[in-house]
Amino acid sequence: MKKLAVYALGGNALQPPKAESSSSAEVLARVMSDVIDMLEMDWTVIITHGNGPQVGYLMEMDGDGVHALDSWVAATQGMIGHELSLNLQGILQRRLRPERTAVILTRVLVDGDDPAFATPTKPVGPILDSKTVMSADWDIAQTIHGPRRVVASPKPLQILELDVIRKLVELQAVVICGGGGGVPVVEREGHHLGVPAVIDKDLLSSRLAVDLKADALIISTDADAVYTGFGTPDAKALRSISVAEAMTMDKAGEFPAGSMAPKVNALCGYVGAMKEGQAIFCTPGSVLDALRGESGTAFTAL
């Protein structure tokens, strides 16, 4: 029976801020290499992805905020999924492989009373000018780059398309889903309504991997490993780390809240629920080496 992996790809890994198109193309090629390598090793692969830079560009074009944030999340699922699917499908056909790609617009149920809605902290969209800061009916916070809109980042409760994703996996599809953490929706009187929020992509990927009982959760980003003392002369890459060690480092402030901390928490959450599964942190293009323990960082129960 084939093993199943959820491969979570960061939006910045696909399209680094201010990067040239050649850089993005190189990263995309490494992602495709990872997926093909895993398929040829008899894995089934589900791809999730971030959308930070991409949704930011769309929101900048929509200066007056005509479109709701959940609509832009849905739009980037289609944009990025289309690009990934086109590239991967072409390789699959050239290699005469049986798999096909499927891009699923993914909605995720959140709690309308989640405490995150009371204290929005997730920056979205472009840097705001003074006129927008004074006139916009948004929550706005000062970031290191300037004032930006901030929204809630609630916990994912239920992936509404989970059964569809499961069935497509059974049909040997490489499913591309959960883009940007999924489109956040709440339930009101038996109906689902989109809300202005951003679900963390890594926590959503962990939720998906647990719900599908996946054999591996792989978080692929532009950092090559988890480090102790990151950014200092004593920085050291870790090839393996236990959940307890990771939580201790997190409490000590080793992992920045807006970048590494959600990834670490997602991998630890997966290991806690799926103790026999492989939880891997690595860069695009190195997934097989990471699964063998030769690069990246493996998270373990003990």
51 belongs to the catalytic site: no
Cβ–Cβ < 8 Å for 297, 237: yes
Residue from 174, 266, 287, 271 nearest 220 by CA: 287
Among residues 12, 87, 155, 194, which one is catalytic?
12
Q: How many CB atoms lie within 10 A of CB 228?
A: 15
Is residue 122 flagged as an active site residue? yes
Catalytic residue chosen out of the listed positions 122, 125, 178, 179: 122
What are the tokens at 279?
């939880």
Q: Which of 10, 11, 52, 81 is catalytic?
A: 11
CB burial of 232-244 (b: ≥16 within 10 Å; e: otherwise) equals: eeeeeebeebebe
Give φ, ψ of 266 to 5 degrees. Answer: -65, -45
Whether 131 is catalytic is no
Catalytic residue among 263, 265, 277, 296: 263
Q: In whole angstroms, what is the distance from residue 246 CA to residue 130 CA? A: 41
- Give a three-class secondary structure readout of 171-208: CCEEEECCHHHCEEEEEECCEEEECCECCCHHHHHHHH
User: Which of 51, 201, 265, 296 is flagged as catalytic?
Assistant: 201
Q: Is 11 a catalytic residue?
A: yes
- The H or E element spanning position 297 is strand 297-300
CB of 138 closer than 8 Å to CB of 209: no
Q: Is 52 a known active-site residue?
A: no
280: phi then psi, degrees, rounded to nearest 5? -125, 140
- C-alpha distances out from residue 277 to 15, 162, 268, Å: 29, 20, 11
Which residues are known catalytic residues? 11-12, 122, 201, 263
